[in-house]
Chains A and B, each alone.
Chain A
């Protein structure tokens, strides 16, 4: 299609560019684009790549701290953890792909986030997955759930990166829009930190990994007369993951970095060659000249448009020092990978693309990579917001033991081993705290340190109050990390929302970012990166606004880690922190009354911070025998889970009168941790609490007989066999999944 035809047919509209966006790019280009150029702009200016609706607001997030080596803007955030070591991490969504092909959609999502971390020069050492599906009673939702889990397993296990944690919720709004967010953590010696920069005029641009095919050439930028139905058919909408090639890519890239053959390195995600070339050149303030005839292709007859926009997986772009090309290609060959020098870095600030000797695209990289407009879309609260806060008055439960069992087998609270047993969570021999605890803990080989990580984000809270929900999510992720004794060093976030052009969605987005920013500031934790996924919406409506927070923390000494279950009988049990709990937005309301209602609590961030400090200080001093965040399902569920160690332990607990009701047992709220400790540690723990202005409410004792007894004054609220409770909790997912 010629520029005239593009103009005549307003072809940009089919590529999801607005008229004013087209005019903007014409102005930046100083002429009308040709077909290939238009395609390149359309992808790089898509919401997915350009953050048009979110960028303005994301600026509020605090991104700095002394230990932040790389903040947002690169492929992953990087934190200094001392001893010349650094940790890279990032989270990303793959929501739309899993809706059509759960297995491959999830698998390619894992591959993508691993390459982001690899692009920092880091060895990927752990994955976490945050998943949301519709009601598991629905066969289609189970199919999606099972497919996603086995896709993550199929990819992560094969590349040899352990999946050490994650989260899983089932809620109605995810029925047509399931969410799959995957976080990857990598480690690197500080000296090997690499940037995605095409620096050094004359340096070579090398494409490494899989061949380029017609995969994923953009839904958004798709369609035209030239790309008729036939070519549409040729173009697969879903991609197939190739973890074997990814594993080779990891080894080859790390070897290239180690041997100083890498000036810059960038993964190839959305918009493949176009985005990786434009972004690396833009970051370095350079240009690039590339020759498409040198790109190894999987299929015959591909056009420049297709080659430039292909999203074929398992490819990396390497900027190598001039003269070292052969050394780079030699490493690739040794690892059985194809590599090809496809171009060079130039000084003119343009991305020039040649094909069969002709210049087929010539675009200023700044315009491509940073020229997209930024929108401040209208925002207004949903009209029914206050209605959502209304909770009818409800009777107190008559049999709290039964309620406890119901909650324990609620799929969102039940034991998740059906999921994580499918993941290799031990490969690389670093996993010190396995999945199932508040946070996973990995040792850092060669040091005494450990890395803790957790993913959290309760979409129900955010739906009911986006600001508070976001604060709760940050607080919980950091609390989980603190519970194992680690200091939260940074978070990454994945913001999953509906259509941002709808004012209520935009409003909730803004509220979430505001909440996240406030919480991070108060807790002293920077945000080093993340991902925004809009348009998670079907005719039935949007997903719950779902911010997923991935926190990474540092344990100075791995021996100081705290388990999340009671170690045995004879320990004191106490509730550390707040004693307040609310039924608003709780799992209890959902399970008992199918109610998603009530305004979730406001977090007292000063108290939250202090509670987390006490957890860590107590861990460092060896005062805690266990610590478990008191989250969904409330105190009763947390106590029960604390009893569920491989050798079940009993607990005998007496609640103060104000907690002897449904809210006390099953209510939820921040800043609370169920701890156990040896009796002789009590005075020192209490002193710590006093020092930080944090409460410590003694609840009872762990006991040898494996029963959970919760009493209040002269009433026995719960008296259940721990084995029986554990069976409910453990069997829930397996029996649903057959």
Chain B
């Protein structure tokens, strides 16, 4: 499965995603430059974490206008798989590829710590390989991860089952104490209606190797590969 990792000015988890895909998952991967207007032959586009344009206006606000984002929107509209992690999620929100917006954490402090995620859906390309019932331990690291949607958007998210990850306790209870940033309904990750674009604040690439203290993040990448292989097996390619 071929991956592309977008490099925006100020991305800083681009190399981490690249590393995990190449060295841990052993899949082909290339960087996609923000200034390019086209997406080459890849099966999944990753918008990595970091501080595109320094997050100087709002996280993701400037990056969404990069030429590559027009191509990403097209790629997504054609059913391509798009994974936005942290700043990547913020960019997807600003670009309108996912509903809602991010506010600063309610503590007004940057927060880097492990979180436990309840997986709300297993029928997405991003979660199909997660063992049922397993709460995932994946770290966050952000200042603006306090998800907000207006009431109408929220109703739509619920109706369409678009929430994929919620912050939870270790045993999977979604309670206010488990919410690290004030996010609405403990939302940590959502998909678009079609289910091919996911945004998540936690960083799966930071816990894909045992030496870094956990491997739960691998499930996200392995899901993508499993989904893709299945699809390739199903239909003509």
Contact = CB atoms under 8 A, between A and B. Distances in A.
Q: Does chain A touch chain B in the assembled complex, meaning CB atoms less than 8 Å apart?
A: yes
Interface in A433-468: 434, 443, 445
B50 interface: yes
Nearest to A242: B54
A389 interface: no
B231 interface: no
Most chain A beta carbons < 10 A, residue from B19, B54, B203, B209:
B54
A36 interface: no
A424 B20 contact: no
A305 interface: no
A159 B19 contact: no
A380 interface: no
B16 A336 contact: no
A429 B112 CA distance: 13
Contacts of B209: 429
Interface string B44-87: 00000111011110000000000000000000000000000000
A247 B110 contact: no
A62 interface: no
Contact of A421 (B13, B19, B54, B113): B113
Nearest to A161: B12
A428 B14 CA distance: 9
A158 B54 contact: yes
Nearest to A435: B112
A424 to B, nearest CB: 5
Contact of A426 (B20, B56, B141, B143): B141
Interface in B100-143: 109-113, 139, 141, 143
Contacts of A426: 112, 139, 141, 203, 206, 212
Contact of B211 (A154, A428, A432): A432
Given A157-B141, A429-B205, A429-B206, A422 B9 contact: no
A423 B10 contact: no
Contact of B54 (A150, A243, A427, A558): A243
Interface in A34-64: none
B40 interface: no
A432 B212 contact: yes
Interface string B199-234: 000010110010111000000000000000000000
B12 A160 contact: yes
B149 interface: no
A431 interface: yes
Contacts of A154: 110
A154 to B, nearest CB: 8
Interface in B25-54: 49-51, 53-54
A595 interface: no
Contacts of B111: 421-422
B174 interface: no
A335 B109 contact: no
B141 A244 contact: no
B109 A150 contact: yes
Contacts of B9: 244, 247-248, 335-336
Contacts of A425: 112
Nearest to A558: B211
A150 B206 contact: no
A437 to B, nearest CB: 12
Contacts of B56: 244
B157 interface: no
B15 interface: yes
Contacts, number: 86
Nearest to B112: A424
A602 B19 CA distance: 48
Contacts of B110: 150, 153-154, 157, 421-424
B46 to A, nearest CB: 14
A443 B19 CA distance: 13
A160 B13 contact: yes
Interface residues of B, number: 30
A425 B212 CA distance: 12
Q: Which of B12, B109, B141 has the most CB of A within 10 A?
A: B12
A429 B19 contact: yes
A427 B19 contact: no
B51 A431 contact: no
Given A158-B51, A423-B112, A429-B16, A248 B10 contact: yes
A602 B113 CA distance: 40
A154 B51 CA distance: 10
B16 A427 contact: yes
Contacts of B16: 427-429
A399 to B, nearest CB: 32
A125 to B, nearest CB: 11
Nearest to A146: B109
Nearest to B109: A422
Give the one of A423, A424, A431 with max B CB within 10 A. A424
Contact of A424 (B141, B211, B212): B141
Contacts of B211: 432, 443, 558
Interface string A224-245: 0000000000000000001111
A248 B10 CA distance: 7
B19 A445 contact: yes
Nearest to B11: A160
A150 B111 CA distance: 11
A157 to B, nearest CB: 6
B12 A247 contact: yes
Given A242-B54, A244-B54, A421 B12 contact: no
Most buried by B among A153, A245, A247, A429: A429
A2 to B, nearest CB: 44
Nearest to B55: A158
Contacts of A558: 211
A385 to B, nearest CB: 42
A431 B110 CA distance: 18
Interface string A327-350: 000000001100000000000000
A409 B56 CA distance: 37
B112 A422 contact: yes
Interface string A190-219: 000000000000000000000000000000
B53 A431 contact: no
A153 B105 CA distance: 14
Contacts of B20: 429
A186 to B, nearest CB: 15
Contacts of A421: 109-113
Contacts of A431: 212
A153 B55 CA distance: 14
B161 to A, nearest CB: 31
Contacts of B203: 426
Contacts of A428: 12, 15-16
Interface of B: 9-10, 12-13, 15-16, 19-20, 49-51, 53-56, 109-113, 139, 141, 143, 203, 205-206, 209, 211-213
Interface of A: 150, 153-154, 157-160, 242-245, 247-248, 335-336, 417, 420-429, 431-432, 434, 443, 445, 558
9 closest A-B pairs by CB: A160-B12, A244-B54, A158-B51, A424-B141, A429-B16, A153-B110, A422-B110, A424-B112, A426-B206
Given A160-B12, A244-B9, A422-B111, 13 more contacts: A157-B143, A244-B53, A247-B10, A417-B113, A426-B141, A426-B212, A427-B16, A427-B141, A429-B205, A429-B206, A429-B209, A443-B211, A558-B211
23 contacts: A150-B110, A153-B110, A158-B12, A158-B54, A244-B10, A244-B51, A247-B9, A247-B51, A417-B113, A421-B111, A423-B112, A424-B112, A426-B141, A426-B212, A427-B16, A427-B206, A428-B12, A429-B16, A429-B20, A429-B206, A429-B212, A434-B213, A558-B211
